[in-house]
Structure 1
Amino acid sequence: MLLDTPICDFGWKAPDFRLQDPYGESFAMRDHLGDKGLLILFICNHCPYVQRIAQRLSEDSRTLMAEGINVLAIMSNDYHLVEADSPENMKQFSKSHDFPFPYLVDEDQSVGKQYGAVCTPDFFGFNHRGELQYRGRLDDARMGDASERIPELLNAMRQIAETGRGPETQTASMGCSIKWA
């Protein structure tokens, strides 16, 4: 089912969480809320929207991380229902797209529910105080040609890092519904 993300709720405070990656390493949100902010991505392996943007997402995240903006990705789908999203397949998907960020398993889906994630991809850009400032899309290319794209997420996170505020105008991300248990 195709869904759009809700409009950004500016100032909403990010709840802390602790999740593991498919290798068993634990990550806490509060440990990644840096001086320049934090980008949290809700993604999965099987969604054609995520598959289409995965390389651009990897490249933009690498750029943001080099500029001091932290990035965490979370997979909240019920992977017992969708085998393609299993932790083992997360390892392969992450490696095939050279993800520079931790890709975490939300086994009980509690983090996805706390954040109100609705689709994959769903982007949450927070300032250094953990206040939501971006809930838009990666870029304007969607499923089409990305050669002349406007990197909206990259630009928004740079603005958040510099000013603590996200852009007032944001275009919703679009993707597959999260597969709830």
Structure 2
Amino acid sequence: MKRIAMAEVRSTFSLRPGDSAPAFRLPAPDGAMHDLQEIRGTEGLLVIFACNHCPFVIHLAAEVASLAREIGASGVKTVAISSNDISRYPQDAPEHMSSFATEYGWDFPYLFDETQAVAKAYSAACTPDFFLFDSELRLYYSGQFDDSRPKSGTPVTGADLRAAVKSMLAGEPAPERPYPSSGCSIKWKIGSEPSWFAPR
């Protein structure tokens, strides 16, 4: 994969395979509340930490929508969560989230984690960061969407995540060493950064 001149953070502090999905109850931009148990699918749940402005998220957004529809038909639902500090990144505020979701065809819940407590509970490090849970909401896969990066020239396919979903639904063992998610760091509120955060 070609090197790109862009700040890139890799998620290395994710939940361990087999860990339970941390519970949450968060608002959508319209104020409607959604919780983990309500949005889970019969066969699993994909949790994505995302935001509106990150070029890594924008690069994958349309294919994320396609994958979500595909796996949703198999009983694996999807939710995206934005945890960025909107006082410093107002483009990620809830009033802009609905238009972003519409633009890229995200027909799954896109929720706002104002306190950043959910991102910390999941040990999320970057946008996008992907967490795939099985039918019992146990972590099966935490890793990259695929090998593509902005300006890399590599097509966006979702190959890694699609393969993980396929293996999970087939009852196969989880990948032992998945390549970690890559992207922009979550924009933590100043003074409340998690212990694993190392500014670049």
Above 0.5 in TM-score?
yes
Q: Residues 112 and 58 from structure 1, CA distance in 2 versus in 1: closer, same or farther, beyond 3 angstroms?
A: same
- Is 1:69 aligned to 2:76, yes or no? yes
* Alignment map for 1:1-12 (pairs within 5 Å): 1-6=7-12, 9-12=16-19
- 1:49 maps to which residue? 56
- The match for 1:38 among 30, 38, 45 is 45
What letter is aligned with 1:45? Answer: N
75-84 or 29-38: bigger deviation: 29-38
145-154 or 102-111: bigger deviation: 145-154
> Which runs of 4 or more aligned residues in structure 1 lie more than 6 Å from their structure 2 counterparts after TM superposition?
none
- Is 1:162 aligned to 2:170, yes or no? yes
- Whole-angstrom distance in 1 between the partners of 2:188 and 2:13: 22
Q: Residues 97 and 172 from structure 1, CA distance in 2 versus in 1: closer, same or farther, beyond 3 angstroms?
A: same
- Is 1:133 aligned to 2:143, yes or no? no
TM-score where L is the length of structure 2:
0.84
Unaligned segments of structure 1, at least 5 residues: none
The Cα offsets for residues 9-57 of structure 1, whole Å up to 9 and x where unpaired, read as 2111111111111011111112233331110000000101001111111
Q: Residues 148 and 100 from structure 1, CA distance in 2 versus in 1: closer, same or farther, beyond 3 angstroms?
A: closer
Deviation at residue 141 of structure 1 after TM alignment = 2.0
* Alignment map for 1:7-156 (pairs within 5 Å): 9-143=16-150, 144-147=152-155, 149=157, 151-156=159-164
Deviation at residue 146 of structure 1 after TM alignment = 4.8
Root-mean-square deviation (CA, aligned residues, Å) is 1.7
What letter is aligned with 1:70? Answer: K
Local SS of the residue matching 1:129 = coil
TM-score where L is the length of structure 1:
0.93
Unaligned segments of structure 2, at least 5 residues: 1-6, 190-200
Q: Residues 148 and 83 from structure 1, CA distance in 2 versus in 1: closer, same or farther, beyond 3 angstroms?
A: closer
Deviation at residue 93 of structure 1 after TM alignment = 0.7
Q: Residues 164 and 75 from structure 1, CA distance in 2 versus in 1: closer, same or farther, beyond 3 angstroms?
A: farther
- The count of corresponding residues between Structure 1 and Structure 2 is 181
- 1:178 maps to which residue? 186
Local SS of the residue matching 1:163 = coil
- 2:3 maps to which residue? none
What letter is aligned with 2:32? Answer: E
Deviation at residue 161 of structure 1 after TM alignment = 2.5
